[in-house]
Amino acid sequence: MRFVALTLFLAASVARADLSEADLATAARLRDSALASPLAYELVTSLTTEVGSRMAGSPGDERAVAWAVARLKRLGFANVRAEPFKFTAWKRGPGHAQITAPYPHRLVMTALGNSVPTPPEGLEAEVAYYPDFAALRADKSDRARGKIVFIDQKTERLRFGATYGSAVAARTSGASEAAKRGAIASVIRSIGTDHDRMAHTGAMLYQADAPRIPAIAVSVPDADTIARIAKDANASPLRLKLVVATEPEVPATSHNVIAEIEGTDLAKDIVLIGAHLDSWDEGTGAIDDGAGVGIVVGAAKAILDSGSKPRRTIRVVLFGNEEKVVDGSRAYGEKYKDVRHQMVGESDFGAGRPWRFATRVTPAALPVMAQIEKVLVPLDMARGDNDANTGPDAALLSRRHGWPTLHADQDGSDYFNYHHTPNDTLDKVDPAAMRVNVAAWSVMAWLAAQSDVEFGPLPREPGP
Helix (H, G, I), strand (E, B) or coil at 377: helix
Instruction: Name the residue type at position 420.
Output: H
- What angle separates helix 39-46 from helix 59-74, to the nearest 10 degrees? 150
Kindly tell me which of 144 and 229 has the beta carbon lying closer to a second copy.
229
CA dist 314 and 316 (Å) reads 7
With CB under 8 A as the contact rule, which of the stretches 113-121, 220-228, 365-373, 454-462 interacts with a second copy? 220-228
Kindly state the smallest distance separating residue 104's Cβ from a second copy, in Å: 7
Tell me, yes or no, if 322 is annotated catalytic.
Answer: yes
CA dist 295 and 376 (Å) reads 16
Kindly tell me which of 16 and 106 has the beta carbon lying closer to a second copy.
106
Assess 221 for contact with a second copy (CB under 8 A): yes
Assess 421 for contact with a second copy (CB under 8 A): yes
Assess 53 for contact with a second copy (CB under 8 A): yes
Kindly tell me which of 103 and 135 has the beta carbon lying closer to a second copy.
103
Assess 224 for contact with a second copy (CB under 8 A): yes
Instruction: Name the residue type at position 76.
Output: G
Report 124-143 residues binding a second copy (CB under 8 A): none
Kindly tell me which of 227 and 458 has the beta carbon lying closer to a second copy.
227
Assess 402 for contact with a second copy (CB under 8 A): no
CA dist 323 and 214 (Å) reads 19
With CB under 8 A as the contact rule, which of the stretches 51-59, 82-90, 149-157, 383-391 interacts with a second copy? 51-59
Distances from the Cα of 460 to the Cα of 337, 345, 397, 416, angstroms? 12, 17, 10, 31
CA dist 123 and 343 (Å) reads 49
**Host H or E run for residue 208:** none
- DSSP track, 17-72: --S-HHHHHHHHHHHHHHHT--HHHHHHHHIIIII----TTSHHHHHHHHHHHHHH
Our CA angle for 403, 404, 407, nearest 5°, is: 130
Catalytic residue (choose from 177, 260, 322, 346): 322
With CB under 8 A as the contact rule, which of the stretches 104-112, 252-260, 302-310, 403-411 interacts with a second copy? 104-112
Kindly state the smallest distance separating residue 420's Cβ from a second copy, in Å: 12
Assess 62 for contact with a second copy (CB under 8 A): no
Kindly tell me which of 92 and 401 has the beta carbon lying closer to a second copy.
92
Our CA angle for 204, 206, 211, nearest 5°, is: 135
Kindly tell me which of 52 and 202 has the beta carbon lying closer to a second copy.
52
Which of the residues are catalytic? Answer: 322
* Interface with a second copy (CB under 8 A): 45, 48-53, 59, 102-106, 108, 195-198, 220-221, 224-225, 228-229, 283-284, 421-423, 425-428
